Amino acid sequence: GPATREANPSATAADRPIGFGRIQRKEDPRFVRGKGRYLDDIVLPGMLHGAILRSPMAHGRIVSIDTTEALAHPKVHAVVTGKDLEALNLAWAPTLSADVQAVLATDKVRFQGQEVAFVVAEDRYAARDALELIDVEYEQLTPVVDARTALAPGAPVVRDEMEGRTDNHVFDWEAGDAAATDAVFARADVVVTQEVVYPRVHPAPMETCGAIADYDAVDGKLTLYETTQAPHAHRTLFAIVAGIPEHKIRVVSPDIGGGFGNKVGIYPGYILAVVGSIVTGRPVKWVEDRSENLMSTSFARDYIMTGEIAATREGKILAVRTNVLADHGAFNATAQPTKYPAGFFHIFTGSYDLEAAHCTVTGVYTNKAPGGVAYACSFRVTEAVYLVERMVDLLADELGMDPAELRLRNFIRPEQFPYPNKTGWEYDSGDYEPTMRLAMRMAGYDELRREQAEKRARGELMGIGISFFTETVGAGPRKHMDIVGLGMADGAEVRVHPTGKAVVRLSVQSQGQGHETTFAQIVAEELGIPPEDIDVVHGDTDQTPFGLGTYGSRSTPVSGAAVALAARKVREKAKLIAAAMLEARPEDLEWEKGRWFVTGDPTQGRTMPEISMAAHGTIELPEGVDGNLDAEVTYDPPNLTFPFGAYICVVDVDPGTGHVTVRRFVAVDDCGTRINPMIIEGQVHGGLADGVGMALMELIDFDEDGNCLGGSFMDYLIPTAMEVPDWETGHTVTPSPHHPIGAKGIGESATVGSPPAVVNAVIDALEPYGVRHMDMPCTPARVWAAMQGRATPP
Ligand code: PCD
């Protein structure tokens, strides 16, 4: 491979860094031994099992539900229907987007797979058997399947239960300056327009969603084990929805087998487990199966985008403009800050210095599953990056320019940061050209173009695709960003025990990305305590400070900052205690990792363990200093962080079958200060595989009756080691100026940045066939159709 490929040595104990660096993951000894404790590993005494009866059709009126036979099943303890929930005022629950969602359908079913009844039984098998004994009579209705026809006059109304509702309109939203953008477009030499579809996909984590509810009727306390990425937010919402006092709810998020945004929302199954436990007086476990996961929880994307890009003949990009039609399914349950119904889509100005930009987004209801989660994406950044990176490639094609050259000419320049873009963001820091040049060097870009020309002459189809992305992650300043009224800040608490070992408690939640290691490394870096001596506690609302949780790559930008600042508070307190111990003035002390010493006399110093023992010991503490070495911080970020990267993908397309092989993939990422390079590489590898999957294989599709065609891994294809190449990763480091340690997020960069690189490569390969654009996924059938000049098949 190329010389720039990053080595992957694991540090030995001797050279293990105290702080940032490549150390092995503290959580892996339990994971690689199969000793992780996931939701389904938890078995409580007397626990019952729940199963959900789901709608077989996309749209239908419920005529009657007969549960008599199911209730007569010897192992069944309870059967709950929408009518029962109505009596408890729980049939509908608020969503994260100020809409409501049916917990169990009462009037109509609005998507295939919707929750209709809940059975609680002795075991999982009996619960499933009893579902078949429930008799539901439906009157089938015409569904709204195509978002493009959802607003047509006379379209069936999905949400006819809402007072005065006569259409399927959810919201209109816009960003940027329409008039200024129109003016720039009017005087541009070149305008390129293209409809670009980001189809419906699904996060599909290895572990599906589930919950165990344990309601204690004696003390009124609810313990809820959940696969959740946001335990504290869930607890508050449960308190509000179920009317259980918040201090009587404990949410425990155990080890999580992948989240990818799928475990942000509160699903009917979670609420039903709670109802089941209250009704039966026993703990109730509910775990969805793969098809339930794919059909009913949290789809992502589903944006139909009409993009326009304006430029001069010489290749100066002037402006971008887009109209988006967003399919939100039957209930508006997307997760994003309240102010932004289209999430952070308005970062679609990309990495380019533009004169103007404008976007409008219209949301519609259809008879499909609700969700619209930020699947490996900071609230629609993925759609935005895909759109702009496709449009730039289309422009390059129109101008007859090399796509790398066009990007290099239009980047925001380093001296322009902090850069206010035309839709209201302030990019914190960036230096794009070196990142792009490194990727081109690693790929051997010019050599690749020569190889491509030779192959084309022989009739072989080779494509080179580029994407350069800028994300906005780490929501958010709380004055601008909230989710259902909860400001987007996060807490952290650091305690140093008398013997100098420490514990750090987090409000955020790992789903596999290694927080137990990296957050220990942040404390280690700040206090000089070895990471193995720092315990990271998360995933239990009784044990951790309040905060909004993990998604949108916000843990490092927000919680990571909270941890660094809490550790710095501890360090300052340690200074006062060390001064007392040394009989020196605090201002005469200097810090080196793990120790305060007297300026000019390094022999006069005290180490952290000495100081922590003294803090809890018998020496007289300075005025105002209490006897511990603890600190707590709730961090409100002043801005988001803006990671970026340059990706180059090389594909070969089989001219006989349309099959695409990703031969090489070069990814150069810049996430500012790097805490653990090994974990970062792992994050990038995972995201790249994810992106190849979306670009080539993954699709949640529907037939004209609204039947979901992606309800199993037989139909919803996700990539394996067979479909992905040996990744070639590199990095540059442009720290965030406002983050205490200069770190930006990395968790989603590769999923965001890679689909356009792959699709651009496929389209580049098809150039001899005159193909300008095709929509994802680039399956053999679709590539073949594009080669024949036919429209994309369904
Ligand atoms: N880091 C470092 N450095 C830097 C940054 C970062 O080191 N500079 C690291 C940290 O610390 C961690 C990781 O890395 O460990 C990541 O981070 P971030 O970026 O901050 O992120 P977070 O928040 O933590 O996480 C989250 C993400 C997301 S969001 C997603 S999708 C995905 C990712 O994460 N998911 C997952 N990754 C992962 N991995 C795994 N394994 N699993 C999972 O599930 Mo969403 O919104 O939810 O859709």
Kindly report, residue by residue over 680-716, the tens digit of the pLDDT. Answer: 999 999 999 999 999 999 999 999 999 999 999 999 9
How far is the centre of ligand 1, averaged over its atoms, from the C-alpha of 784 (Å)? 36
Structure tokens at 254: 């155990």
> How close is the Cα of 324 to the center of ligand 1, in Å?
28
For ligand 1, atom 21, the nearest C-alpha belongs to 553
What's the pLDDT at 5? 44
Atom 41 of ligand 1: nearest residue by CA position? 512
Give the pLDDT of residue 56: 98
Residue written as token pair 């179920």: 242
553 CA → ligand 1 middle, Å = 5
Between CA 774 and CA 783 the distance in angstroms is 8
**Residue nearest atom 16 in ligand 1 by C-alpha distance:** 747
Q: Which residues of the chain have pLDDT under 50?
A: 1-11
pLDDT at 17: 86
pLDDT at residue 793, as a whole number:
55
Q: Supply the pTM of this predicted model.
A: 0.97
Cβ neighbours for 486, distance < 8 A, ≥ 6 positions apart: 233, 236, 548
Contact 615, 580 (CB under 8 A): no
In this structure, what are the phi and psi dihedrals at residue 211, rounded to the nearest 5 degrees?
-155, 150
- 771, 765 contact by CB (below 8 A): no
Buried/exposed 98-113: b ≥16 CB within 10 Å, e otherwise: ebbbbbbbbebbbbbb
**Mutation pick for ligand 1 pocket among 488, 553, 694, 741 (CB with most ligand atoms within 8 Å):** 553
Reading the block at residue 183, the tokens are: 């003016």
End-to-end CA distance of the chain: 39
Burial class (CB in 10 A: 0-12, 13-18, 19+), 509: buried
Token pair of 169 as six digits = 């309109």
Nearest to 666 by CA among 734, 735, 753: 753
Ligand 1, atom 29, lies closest to the CA of 551
| Distance from the alpha carbon of residue 552 to the mean position of ligand 1, in angstroms | 8
Closest residue to atom 25 of ligand 1, CA basis: 553
Q: Is 750 in the pocket of ligand 1 (CB under 6 A)?
A: no
> Is residue 701 a contact partner of residue 709, using CB atoms and an 8 Å limit?
yes
Closest CA to 204 of 333, 291, 271: 291
Whole-number pLDDT of residue 792: 63
Question: Measured from the CB, is residue 229 less than 6 Å from ligand 1?
Answer: yes
Q: Which residue puts its alpha carbon closest to atom 36 of ligand 1?
A: 260
Centre of ligand 1 to C-alpha 423, Å, is 26
Phi/psi of residue 54, nearest 5 degrees: -120, 155
3-state class of 346 per DSSP? helix
In short, whether 680's Cβ falls inside 6 Å of ligand 1 is yes
Name the closest-CA residue to atom 34, ligand 1.
747
* Token pair in block for residue 697: 């294989």
Compute the distance from residue 683 Cα to the ligand 1 centre, in Å.
7
Which atom of ligand 1 is least distant from the CA of 375? 48
- Whether 555 is in the pocket of ligand 1, judged by its Cβ within 6 Å, is yes
The pLDDT score that the predictor gives to residue 1 is 33
The alpha carbon of 513 and the centre of ligand 1 are apart by a number of angstroms equal to 5
Q: What is the dihedral of CA 346, 348, 352, 357, to 10 degrees?
A: -60
Tokens standing for residue 696: 């080539």
Whether 277 is in the pocket of ligand 1, judged by its Cβ within 6 Å, is no
Query: Candidates 301, 428, 513, 519: which one to mutate for ligand 1, based on the most atoms within 8 Å of Cβ?
Result: 513
- Whether 742 is in the pocket of ligand 1, judged by its Cβ within 6 Å, is no
Give me the DSSP letters along 435-452: HHHHHHHHHTHHHHHHHH
For ligand 1, say whether the CB of 686 is within 6 Å of any of its atoms.
yes
For 496, the enclosing helix (H) or strand (E) is strand 490-496
Give dist(CA 403, CA 315) in Å, integer. 10
CA distances from 790 to 490, 611, 653, 785 (A): 51, 74, 17, 5
* Whether the Cβ atoms of residue 571 and residue 526 lie closer than 8 Å to each other: yes
CB atoms closer than 10 angstroms to residue 415: 7
Task: Tell me how far apart the alpha carbons of residues 737 and 561 are, in angstroms, rounded to a whole number.
Answer: 12
Q: What separation in angstroms does the CA of 714 have from each of 205, 303, 588, 700, 709? A: 16, 25, 68, 12, 10
What pLDDT score was predicted for residue 175? 98
- Distance of alpha carbon 541 from the chain centroid: 21
CA of 88 to the centre of ligand 1 (A): 39
Q: Which residues of 581-616 are buried (b: 16+ CB within 10 A; e: fewer)?
A: bbebeeeebebeebbbbbeeeeebbbbbbbbbbbbe
- Is the ipTM value over 0.95, yes or no? yes
If you take atom 32 of ligand 1, which residue's CA is the nearest one? Answer: 260
Q: Is the CB of 682 under 6 A from ligand 1?
A: no
What is the distance in A from the centroid of ligand 1 to the CA of 409? 32
The reported pLDDT for the residue numbered 9 is: 46
pLDDT at residue 298 in the model: 86
